[in-house]
Each structure stands twice: as structure tokens, then as C-alpha cells.
Structure 1
Amino acid sequence: MATQPSLSIRSPIPVLVAVLGLGAVIVSMMQTLVVPILGVIRQDLHASTADATWLTTATLLAAAVCTPLAGRLGDQYGSRRVFLGVLALTLAGSVLAATTRTLAWLIVARALQGVSTALFPLAQSVLRNQLPTARMPGAMGTISGALALGNAVALVSAGLLSGASTADYHLVFWLAAGVSGLALLATALVVPGAAGTGAGRTDWLGAVLLAASLTLLLLPLSRGADWGWTSVPTVGCLTGALVLGGVWVRVERRRPDPLVQLGVFARPVVAAVNLAGFLLGFAMFMQFIGVSTVVQLPAAPAGYGLGASVSQAAIGYLLPPALASLLAARLAGTLTHRFGARRALAAGSVSGVTGFGLLAVVHDRPAGVLAGGVLVGVAISFGFATLPAVLLDAVPRAQTGVANGVNSVFRSVGSSVASALLGALLATGAVGRPGAAQPALPAQSRFTLAFSLAAAAFAVVACVALLGRRAAPTPTGDG
């Protein structure tokens, strides 16, 4: 068995938490970094809307596959070692993104950046090994709040670095490389190591099957508008995703050391929490990409855009929700301690329903976009802060690490579906005359539908939180 090393003298608890928090900042940075500049990249690389959407979808797809794999490797070889490896891949992806000028290689780079999502559950594993139980809630609150800080840093930097007419969007990726390099150095100097168990084998087959099934699911969501929703490629990909998904489940159940312990996650309470995680990721990216897109559309000929520049979209419309999310993290922790995680999650979900309701109705008015975005930001913060606590009540302590890792996977898959689905929605229902000099723009009804779907997602999260409150068992032991 792995030994439990004592905290290093050169790594006092506040410093350790700060460094791990920097890793959480990178997680959210890599996911949101391109959101304000998708339009700029699309124009520079002459890419279609559906193709450019893969700059976010590839990142989230890589996150969904690599997060459980990194968790398994962390158990085998030690969380610190895998944490450093993930940061190295993130740094490589950032440098590649900063130097390439082709869409294909940029998508590859974004996939490498997506591996960074594994840093969040790995940070939780380091904290469990190094901190006394009494210090865990405060440390986890700090790590969760760092996710909101990363969103704010990414949105502001992307807006400032690429907003000027002479600016190059590659500067945004150089910033990501700098932050990743700093985190890699700080982790190497501060985070103490812990020996892995060395037991079992890595489930590479499970990782490949999961990647293939998710790709077949997301590809038709991204290209369905071009292929036709009833065409052979679309139906074939969806059928293939279903078949491979079934094969993956069968393989995971039979392997002695599966990528994902399906037995734990088949429990109704845990399945409900993972559904909530999926819907949280879905709603989060519906806000990021939907708001960024709608405010940058010209008022004419669409009749509803706000004509914002990249920097105005990032700082004026995306930064306030990110700051609200950061401030709400502390409130979420207080309410969780006083009333319980499920009630706090339900309260945050109500804020999300209200916010997306506003966005669905008044996304053509600056005040409506701001108010709706802030309410959604609060809801997202509550979700990040409360879901780990809900899982802690639903699974034995020894399984909380893998439970949070898989919940991160569900959030990434939800974000991937939102990214691909929104790209498909905006690629259909165009406004404009055929043959006109200006490109066709998405119909306003597409944004109304997207924001309404996100509101419905938060409504389901609220139901999951409230209906599961009495059904949640109190786990005992470590089994």
C-alpha cells in the first residue's frame, strides 16, 4: 500500500493550497480561453462555424477521456507525478497553439490543453494525502473558487490581448503557456510526493473505447446541420456511439482494474449527482459560448445583436458573471455548512433558471444579458462548490476521489455536448439574403432555444437536489 507522507517543511498548507489552486485556475482557463476569440480565429483561419466549434469540443472531449485515466495513473504512480505530467502536456499544447497557423493543428493543441481538466481531481487527491481532515473543507473551497478565478483571468486576458485591431490572438496562447510553465515549476518545488500503490494495470482499452464513443457522439452534433439530421453519416455515427458505448460498459464490468468503477456509479444517488454534473457543464458552456456569440453579432441585418468587439464581449459581458461566480463561492460554502449541500445546490439552480430565462427573453438588450449572466454565474459557482459535498455524502470516503473525478468527466461531457449542439444550432436558421455580400447570421430563435434548454437543465438540477435529499444514504466505512 502507499505510504501517507507527512507534509513537507517547504510546503506549508497555505502555500500548498495556493499552488494546487493555480492548477484549478489552469483548468478553467483552458476551457474558456478561446470563447471570446472564436470569431477572430474563425476569420483568420477561414473556418466554418461548425469547424471552429471543435476548438472547444476537442478540449472538452480530451478532458472527458483523460480525467479518469489520469486518476487511475495517479493511484498507481502517485498524484504529484501525474500532476506534473498533465501540466507538461498542457504546456506543450499551449506552445503548439501559440505557434501554429492551421486549424487542424490548433484543434490538436486544444485537445492537449484539455488534458488539464484532470488537475482538479488530482489536486483533491493531493489534499486528501497531505491535509488533516479538519482542514479539508476550507482547502476544497479555495480550490473550487480558483475555478471561477481562472474563468475571469481567461476572459479578460483573451479580450485585452486580442481585442485591438492589430493584436494577434496567438498572444492568448502564449499567456496560457506562461501560466502553465509557472504552475509546472511551482508544483515541482512545492507539492510533496506520495508513493502510488503500483497495483493493477492501466485500462488503455477502456480509454480508447470511451474516446471513440464520445467522438462518434459529438461529431454528428457538430456536423449534423451540414450532413442532414437523417443522413447516413449522422445516423451511422450516433449508432456507432451507442454500440461502442455498450461495448465500453461491458468491457469495464469485466476488467479487474477498469478505467471507471461502474458499480459505484450505478447507485441511484451517485447517478443523480453525475446527471447534475453533466447538466452543470452543459449550462456553463451554453452561457459562455452563447453570450459571447450573441453580443458580438451586428444589430443589422440580424436585428438583435449588440455589435460588441472581442474585448467588449469579454470584459463587459463575460467578466461580470465570472466575478459573480468568484464572490458567490464563499456564500455557497456558508450555505452548505448551515443548510446542507443539496439545499444550497437547489438554491443556486433557481438562480440559474432565472438567469437563463432572462437571457432567453432579453438577449438583445445589454442590461438583460448582464443580469442574466450574473445570475447564471452565481448558479455555476454554487454547483462547483456543492457537488463535491453531495458526493461526499453519497459514497464511502475511500471512493470520494474517483467519484469527484468521474463527476468532472460528466461535466466535461456536458460541456462538450453544449459546445457541439450550440454550434449546430447556430449553423442553421440563417438570417440574410442568398448571395448577399454579408454572411448569413443565425436566427434569433436559435439563441432563445439554446438559453431555454440551459434553463431547463438547471431546473432538472434543482429537482435532483431536492428529490434526492431524503434518499441519500449516509455512507460508512471505506468500502
Structure 2
Amino acid sequence: MSTAAPAPAEAKNRNETVIVFALSLAAMVVSMMQTLPVPILGLIRTDLGTSTANVSWVTTATLLSAAVFTPLLGRFGDQHGKKPTLVAVLGVMVVGSVIAAVATSLPLLILGRVLQGAATAIFPLALSVLREEVRPQKLPGAMALVSGTLAFGSGLALVATGLLTSGSDADYRNAFWMATGFATLALLAVAFLVPATRHKTGGRTDFLGALTLGITLLLLLLPISQGHEWGWTSGRTLGSFAGAAVMTAVWVFTELKVSEPLVDMRMFVHRPVLMANLAGVLVGFGMFANFLGVSYLVQMPQKLTGYGFDASILRASVQFLLPGAIVSLLASPIGGQLVRHRGPRVALGLAAGLGAVGFGWLALDHGHSFSVIGAGLIVGAAVSFGYAAMPAVIMASVPHHQSGIANGINSISRSTGSAIGSAIVTTILASKTIEHLPAGVPALPAESGFTLTFWIGAVAFALVAVISWIGLRGAHGPRTVESGSPAEAPAKVAEPEPAQTV
């Protein structure tokens, strides 16, 4: 007996679900690349026979690569097709993962990490695809789910790396082979499950704008990520910051003069977009402050320091970090419903409140495993709600043809916040050390360093509350897209006027 064909609405729902799954997988893999090497930097340093300063480039290279390529590829996808750009970028990530897995020297490993970093552009491209393919009433939830995989993927990478390198004869390359497998799976999912792009703006690519923006971000992020090694008052650090200030002026001047700018300056300074980017810096900072602060804290030897849990990398990942990562994924649909029914301002405000409470709890009590895990659950939900709100603000505030570049800049803001978080945590823990330790024992951070780190995290989320309350007044959910897209039904919420193009 023949089976009846699915009704159009059922088929549509099924197609949307498949698309969201494929893009969520791709976004998760991207976020995994950023935190994957954090637990194994010591293994890499020993295996390749290099210094701590040199091995830090394994993480810095990915950050700088993402800063350069994300806005350029986001804009390129808007102009020439999002799916082809997505597939190409995922292909680059697969190649980079293989190179990192087979590398026998630090330069080759760094090359692989540069190629992995370029894949950060997947996230803004994925959001642009969702805007085309998902109906308005489903769009907040879809964007929240894809965004929620970012925090989950970052935590999952730490846990998986801990599992793969827990033995006495651990090989860090297993982590990169795992990354290769995930990247290949994401590539196949996007290639076969995501439909071809319908909206293309065409036009010329602003390579001069991309070059000046890339140099600006390099000069900004390089001293942030390397300042601890260089010295915060060294000539290289201060010179890089000064160069970033000069190049910012050059970039703005360039974008105001070209006929088809990479970044529309009016869009860039449009209040909701600007506030979303500031929130991105703060939430990204909070996420990394939680990951690094908790990871270092629980591994402290209690007999020597008087605090800590003597946890191995594996235990730190599975017992203390994995629960928060899982909660961040589970909270993402709730964040989508908040954005849909109450607006991104409420979702971001709730993220701020939860984040401040979670970090405050950690600051006041980090001597019991229940407190560390419980606070991590709260911070994980806070990050998820924050990541759900920011793309909704962006989509509600920019025209369709600028969604890729706008979300690309927001992605960079989160990466910048993560870099700042890593730098501040590292600097604080290195500057506050225990004075009296047995001979031969390396310097260990004092407990006050962790307390200060967690209070700074609470302040960061308190500033997010200010942004949601004042900076996003009047912001609503995602705006509808142009006629001809599948999301033609009018949105149920009022929309702010989008920024005008130049």
C-alpha cells in the first residue's frame, strides 16, 4: 500500500529541522577548534621540544586567523552565496585539522591552526542561512540553538581532549584527529542537508577594507594574547596597541571612501548593533574566565596550596566543566523562546543576572565541589542566553544583505572577549602567587587570584545588565526578510528601524 506524501507544512518543518541540525553541528565544531588545544599545550610543548612562549601561538594563531577571515568571508557569503562559502570554509577546516594532526614541527602545527581559525566564519554564515530558510516564528529558537552549540562545543572540546589524553602515554595528536572527524562530518552535513543560497547581493569585494580591518584586529589581539609573555609595559605590547589605534582610523577612513565597503559604518555604530558587540566582548570574557578559572582552580594540589581539588585534566573536564557545557546546550531552546516571546533584551538581562550570580557564588565559595559545579551550571545557562540574544539583536537591526558581515563582527567581538579573558586570568594568577613553597616546587597561584578572577567575571555580567537595560531599549526579535524568502509571514513583534546602507 502506497504511503501518502507529507503535507507541505510537515515537509517544511522537517526541512527546517534538518537545516538547523546541520548548521548547529557546524557551529559546534567551530567552537571546539578554539578551546581544543588548551588542556594539551603542555603535551605539545614537551613533544615538539619548544618553549611555553612559543607553544602559546597554537592558540593565538587561531584567534588571529579568525579575526582576519571571519568578516571577509561573512561578507563574501552575502555577496556570492552562503552555502558555497560554507562548504569551502569547512573544507579548509578539514585540511587544517589534518595538518595539525600530522604536524611534526611547531610551524606546521601553527599553519594547521591558522586554517582551523578561518572556519570561525561558519557561525555568521550559518545565521544568514537560517534567516533565509526558517520562518519568522521559528527563527529565534533556531538561532538560539545554533548559538547555544558554541558554548557547548567549547566545553565539549575540553572534555573530549581530557579523555583522549588521560593516559600515561597520551598523544596530543589524537585530539586533532578527533577534530578532523567532526569537521568532516559537519562538511558532509552542510553539503547534503543545507539548500543552495537564494539571496546574493553580488558586487565587488572590498579587499582594501578587509586588509585594513585585518591589520587592525591583528595589532589589537596580538598584544592581548601575548602581553603576558611580552610584558604589559614592553615596547612590543604598547607599540601594538598604538598601531591598532592608528589602523582603526585608517580602516574607518577607508570604509567611508569606497563605494561598496566591507563594513557599513552606519550599521557598525547603529546603537543596537554596537551594544550587541559590547555584550559579545563581555559574555565571551565571562565564558573563558569560567573555563580557565575553574580548570586551574580544581587542579591545584590542596596539600601545597590549602585549596583546590587535586583534579587531573580528565576529572577537571568531566566533573567540573562538562555539566555547565551540557546545561548551555539544554538552555539554548529556552533562550530562543525568551527571545521570541519577550525579546532579546529580556534574554540578555536574564543572562546578565545569572552570570553575575554564578560568578559571585564562585567568588564566595569555591572550596566545595558542589559550589563549583553548581555555579558552573548557572554560568553555562547565562552564556547560552547571552548567545541567543545577540544574533536576534543583529538580525533585527540590519538589512538582509549585511547580516553576514554584522554577525561576523559580533563573532569577532566574542573572540576578542575570550582573548581578553584568557589574558586577564593568566596575568592575575601569575601575579598573585604563594610565597612560601617547598624547594623545587614551581610557583603556584594564591587563592586570592581566583577570588579576584571570579569577582571580575561577576562585574562583566553586571555590565551586560547595563547594556540590556539601557543600551538595548527598544530592541526586539528578528526582523522579517525580503519577499521571496520562505519567511514571508509578518513577525508578531514590533521591529526597530534598520540601519541605512551607505
Please point out which of 391, 405, 410 is paired with 2:408.
405
Distance 1:394 1:128, change over 3 A: closer
RMSD: 2.7
Distance 1:437 1:100, change over 3 A: farther
Equivalent residue number for residue 123 of structure 2? 120
Alpha-carbon distance, 1:461 to partner: 0.5
Question: Equivalent residue of 1:63, what SS?
Answer: helix
Equivalent residue number for residue 311 of structure 1? 314
Please point out which of 427, 431, 444 is paired with 1:428.
431
Query: Aligned pair 1:108/2:127, yes or no?
Result: no
Deviations 1:114-141 (A, max 9, x none): 2222111111222233334344334323
Deviates further, 373-382 or 239-248: 239-248
Alignment of 1:172-211 (within 5 A): 172-194=175-197, 197=200, 199-211=202-214
Percent identity of paired positions between Structure 1 and Structure 2: 48
TM-score, normalised relative to structure 1: 0.89
For 1:160 and 1:36, locate their aligned partners in 2 and report how far apart those are by CA, in whole Å: 11
For 1:125 and 1:290, locate their aligned partners in 2 and report how far apart those are by CA, in whole Å: 34
Alpha-carbon distance, 1:399 to partner: 3.9
Deviates further, 367-376 or 301-310: 301-310
Alignment of 1:230-269 (within 5 A): 230-269=233-272
For 1:302 and 1:425, locate their aligned partners in 2 and report how far apart those are by CA, in whole Å: 16
Write the letter of the residue equivalent to 2:216: S
TM-score, normalised relative to structure 2: 0.85
Distance 1:297 1:205, change over 3 A: farther
Alpha-carbon distance, 1:442 to partner: 2.9
Deviates further, 231-240 or 358-367: 358-367
Write the letter of the residue equivalent to 2:457: A
Distance 1:102 1:354, change over 3 A: farther
Distance 1:364 1:34, change over 3 A: farther
Deviates further, 425-434 or 245-254: 425-434
Equivalent residue number for residue 475 of structure 1? 496
Answer whether contact 1:260 1:406 (CA < 8 A) is retained.
Answer: no
For 2:351 and 2:183, locate their aligned partners in 1 and report how far apart those are by CA, in whole Å: 31
Write the letter of the residue equivalent to 2:114: A
Answer whether contact 2:298 2:310 (CA < 8 A) is retained.
Answer: yes
Write the letter of the residue equivalent to 1:23: A
For 1:102 and 1:477, locate their aligned partners in 2 and report how far apart those are by CA, in whole Å: 49
For 1:24 and 1:97, locate their aligned partners in 2 and report how far apart those are by CA, in whole Å: 20
Deviations 1:384-435 (A, max 9, x none): 1111222334344554443322211211121122223333334434436699
Query: Aligned pair 1:464/2:446, yes or no?
Result: no
For 2:64 and 2:330, locate their aligned partners in 1 and report how far apart those are by CA, in whole Å: 29
Answer whether contact 1:397 1:478 (CA < 8 A) is retained.
Answer: no
Deviations 1:220-241 (A, max 9, x none): 3344344443332222222112
Alignment of 1:56-455 (within 5 A): 56-194=59-197, 197=200, 199-396=202-399, 399-431=402-434, 436-455=439-458
Deviates further, 14-23 or 343-352: 14-23
Answer whether contact 2:39 2:313 (CA < 8 A) is retained.
Answer: yes
Question: Equivalent residue of 1:58, what SS?
Answer: helix
Write the letter of the residue equivalent to 2:214: A
Query: Aligned pair 1:31/2:12, yes or no?
Result: no
Question: Equivalent residue of 1:441, what SS?
Answer: coil
Answer whether contact 1:49 1:423 (CA < 8 A) is retained.
Answer: no
Equivalent residue number for residue 23 of structure 2? 20
Deviates further, 266-275 or 45-54: 45-54
Deviates further, 372-381 or 58-67: 58-67
Write the letter of the residue equivalent to 1:475: P
Equivalent residue number for residue 5 of structure 1? none
Deviations 1:42-85 (A, max 9, x none): 44445555544443333223222221111111122211111011
Structure 2: gaps of 5 or more residues: 1-10, 477-494
Answer whether contact 2:270 2:499 (CA < 8 A) is retained.
Answer: no
Answer whether contact 1:148 1:326 (CA < 8 A) is retained.
Answer: yes
Answer whether contact 1:36 1:292 (CA < 8 A) is retained.
Answer: no
Equivalent residue number for residue 4 of structure 1? none
Question: Equivalent residue of 2:431, what SS?
Answer: coil
Deviations 1:356-402 (A, max 9, x none): 12223333432232122111101001001111222334344554443
For these two proteins, the number of residue pairs brought into alignment is: 471
Deviations 1:192-237 (A, max 9, x none): 2226647332223333333333332333334434444333222222
Distance 1:288 1:50, change over 3 A: farther
For 1:344 and 1:235, locate their aligned partners in 2 and report how far apart those are by CA, in whole Å: 38
Question: Equivalent residue of 1:297, what SS?
Answer: coil
Alpha-carbon distance, 1:464 to partner: 0.6
Distance 1:40 1:428, change over 3 A: farther
Answer whether contact 1:56 1:419 (CA < 8 A) is retained.
Answer: no
Answer whether contact 1:430 1:441 (CA < 8 A) is retained.
Answer: yes
